[in-house]
Chain A
Amino acid sequence: MNAPTPSAPLQAATAAACSSAPAINFAYLDERSKRMIRRALLKAVAIPGYQVPFGSREMPLPYGWGTGGIQVTAAVIGPNDVLKVIDQGSDDTVNAVNIRRFFQRTAGVPITTQTRAATLIQTRHRIPETPLREGQIIVYQVPVPEPLQRLEPRETETRTLHALAEYGLMHVKLYEDIARHGHIATTYDYPVLVNGRYLMSPSPIPKFDNPKLHRNPALQLFGAGREKRIYAVPPYTKVESLSFDDHPFEVQRWEAACALCGATDAFLDEVIIDDQGTRQHTCSDSDHCQQRRAAASTVAA
């Protein structure tokens, strides 16, 4: 699965390219656009959690399908990278398959499903269970980069709030949660404070993954295509989930274990498996689940 098999159209394109310039640039985006995005990325890394505006390009898929993440990936990917793409933790959902094939065709880079083998991971909604290491880059697809947007619709005002670090408003949201539900009911896109300064939306990852943002050895890049914003969390940066003193931050827990690999410490999806409504819990991270099952079978054998 690691060897890329160039598709027929690309082969035709490469054949045509031999005579003149290639039909598609490496990783789809033209070099000037990549340079523009890289400049935004450098600024984003320099100011952890700060949303840097960038000139988001038209991509061959609709907004909301990961155009921001794809542009960031296209700007940082090189021929020696090994790419992994996940959607909701899984390597084989539609969004993941499409984006992976996109980069296979336009960049011809090797792809993998193994978190350990990847140098570049594009993700939607999850951080892999396997701890990331130094040198890896994880790219998040972000639908709404502004954590205060639902509370304060004026962008001029939210920018001022960021500039002056006035983040009391975010606690209003958490207060409302407790007043209505008795506990902080926000379960995904849980707001974080980066490096003690900028309030940041971690993209719609479950709050289960928030602790993995904190002092992560990998470089974390966030791209929002429609909203035209890029932000970043450099390696080993402090990322703190907001909370109240008497209602501390907590991650989800499950009574069940994964029905396939038996994991109790992973993020589990509850799925209905037949018409009688029988339910079972399985790991959301398909690679993690497979690794565990493979390890279990070698021990058994």
Chain B
Amino acid sequence: MNQTLPMPATPFCTPQPLLRVRQLGKRYGALTALHDASFDLWPGEVLAVVGESGSGKSTLLNAVAALSRPDSGGVEYRLRDGTLEDVHALSAARQRLLARTDWGFVHQNPADGLRMDVSAGANVGERLMGLGWRHYGQLRATALEWLQRVEIDPWRIDDTPRVFSGGMRQRLQIARNLVTSPRLLFMDEPTSGLDVSVQARLLDLLRRLTQELQLAVVIVTHDLAVARLLAQRMVVMQRGRIVESGLTDQLLDDPQHPYTQLLVSSVLPP
């Protein structure tokens, strides 16, 4: 086999990170929700953020995705032209453009990320229409293609997400986000509202899509199995701080920090 295969999604081949998060801090009154959080993310890399409830995972994700403003620190993102830009210094217009073209955000509750009263096809097409697509036939063809890619029956294109099951809604939300071929996807507990078999199917799908599309992903989860299955690297959070970070397998097999040890040991064997 002398065929040259496409470069696999090993993050360390690319010298330049896609996202640089430096010393993020966020306070809610007297409560320190996030303290001194830093990490880099390379193109095509999946990073899991794990920790118990209230450990600051979602605060970190929202601050990185420019949905909330951190009190200190900064987030830099490498645009398609190669320049590194401070996300929070961009104008609101550019932040929003970035968020609906180059980024995606998958919410825990699909109703937060979908328009529940418009059809699945329009949900998928909305970002494209926002980018100026004005051809109904093309929009519909693209929507059909994406529904198939996330394993939703094409004949349900005109149904609203309201009549979809939880798993279908979540897959539709993923399709809606991926339609503009983003390079970076944020996911906040994407599997936690689903039953176990549906979770497994969604994880399978996510793993396939991230590999196919060379997506960089920041995924927040409290489920170590999700992290093990999807992520190459993970960070562990406790009380607003990143207490440990490293390669997923290494970290799960040989946890160093007492909290990580506790977290790993508290997973019930099936």
Q: Which chain A residues have a beta carbon within 8 Å of chain B's beta carbons?
A: 151, 160, 164, 166-169, 171-172, 175-176, 178-180, 243-247
Q: Cβ of B139 < 8 Å from any Cβ of A?
A: yes
Q: With A175-B129, A178-B136, A245-B135 in contact, is A164–B93 under 8 Å at CB?
A: yes
15 pairs of residues in contact across A and B, judged by CB atoms under 8 Å: A151-B118, A164-B93, A164-B96, A168-B128, A168-B131, A169-B126, A172-B122, A175-B122, A175-B136, A176-B118, A176-B119, A179-B119, A179-B121, A245-B134, A245-B135
Q: Is the CB of A176 within 8 A of B130?
A: no
Complex Cα–Cα for A244 and B135 (A) = 5
Q: Is the CB of A169 within 8 A of B136?
A: no
Question: Within the complex, what minimum Cβ distance (angstroms) separates A173 from chain B?
Answer: 8
Residues of B within 8 A of A175 (CB): 121-122, 125, 129, 136, 139
Q: Is the CB of A180 within 8 A of B158?
A: yes
Complex Cα–Cα for A175 and B119 (A) = 9
Complex Cα–Cα for A190 and B32 (A) = 50
Question: Within the complex, what minimum Cβ distance (angstroms) separates A158 from chain B?
Answer: 14
Residues of A within 8 A of B129 (CB): 168-169, 171-172, 175
Complex Cα–Cα for A164 and B91 (A) = 11
Residues of B within 8 A of A246 (CB): 135-137
> Per a CB cutoff under 8 Å, which of B126, B128, B158 touches A179?
B158
Q: Cβ of B92 < 8 Å from any Cβ of A?
A: yes
Q: Cβ of B69 < 8 Å from any Cβ of A?
A: no
Complex Cα–Cα for A168 and B122 (A) = 11
Complex Cα–Cα for A172 and B125 (A) = 8
Per the CB 8 Å criterion, the residue count for chain B at the interface is: 24
Residues of A within 8 A of B122 (CB): 172, 175-176, 179
Residues of A within 8 A of B137 (CB): 246
Q: Is the CB of B126 within 8 A of A168?
A: yes
Q: Cβ of B78 < 8 Å from any Cβ of A?
A: no
Number of A-B pairs whose CB atoms are under 8 Å? 56
Q: Is the CB of B96 within 8 A of A166?
A: yes
Q: Is the CB of B127 within 8 A of A168?
A: yes
Q: Cβ of B115 < 8 Å from any Cβ of A?
A: yes
Residues of B within 8 A of A178 (CB): 136
Q: Given A172-B126, A180-B119, A247-B136, 11 other A-B contacts at CB below 8 A?
A: A164-B96, A168-B126, A169-B130, A172-B115, A175-B125, A175-B136, A179-B121, A179-B157, A179-B158, A244-B134, A244-B135
Residues of A within 8 A of B134 (CB): 171, 243-245
Residues of A within 8 A of B93 (CB): 164
Residues of A within 8 A of B158 (CB): 179-180
Interface residues of B in 29-62 (CB under 8 A from A): none
Question: Within the complex, what minimum Cβ distance (angstroms) separates A200 from chain B?
Answer: 18
Question: Within the complex, what minimum Cβ distance (angstroms) separates B124 from chain A?
Answer: 10
Residues of B within 8 A of A164 (CB): 92-93, 96
CB nearest to A150 among chain B residues: B117
Complex Cα–Cα for A164 and B121 (A) = 25
Per-position contact with A for B120-156: 1 when CB-CB < 8 Å, else 0?
Answer: 0110011111111011110110000000000000000
4 closest A-B pairs by beta carbon, nearest first, are A168-B130, A168-B129, A171-B129, A244-B136
Pick the most buried of A160, A172, A245: most chain B CB atoms within 10 A of its CB: A172
Complex Cα–Cα for A263 and B137 (A) = 37
Residues of A within 8 A of B130 (CB): 166-169
Residues of A within 8 A of B125 (CB): 172, 175
Question: Within the complex, what minimum Cβ distance (angstroms) separates A152 from chain B?
Answer: 9
Complex Cα–Cα for A247 and B136 (A) = 7
Residues of A within 8 A of B92 (CB): 160, 164
Residues of A within 8 A of B126 (CB): 168-169, 172
CB nearest to A171 among chain B residues: B129
Question: Within the complex, what minimum Cβ distance (angstroms) separates B138 from chain A?
Answer: 8
CB nearest to A167 among chain B residues: B130
Question: Within the complex, what minimum Cβ distance (angstroms) separates B93 from chain A?
Answer: 5
Residues of B within 8 A of A247 (CB): 136
Complex Cα–Cα for A200 and B184 (A) = 34
Question: Within the complex, what minimum Cβ distance (angstroms) separates B66 from chain A?
Answer: 14
CB nearest to B160 among chain A residues: A176
Complex Cα–Cα for A151 and B126 (A) = 12
Q: Is the CB of B135 within 8 A of A172?
A: no
Complex Cα–Cα for A8 and B127 (A) = 62
Residues of B within 8 A of A151 (CB): 115, 118
Question: Within the complex, what minimum Cβ distance (angstroms) separates A52 from chain B?
Answer: 22
Complex Cα–Cα for A15 and B119 (A) = 65
Interface residues of B in 92-128 (CB under 8 A from A): 92-93, 96, 115, 118-119, 121-122, 125-128
CB nearest to A175 among chain B residues: B122
Complex Cα–Cα for A175 and B121 (A) = 9
Question: Within the complex, what minimum Cβ distance (angstroms) separates B125 from chain A?
Answer: 6
Question: Within the complex, what minimum Cβ distance (angstroms) separates B127 from chain A?
Answer: 7
Question: Within the complex, what minimum Cβ distance (angstroms) separates B196 from chain A?
Answer: 34
CB nearest to B131 among chain A residues: A168
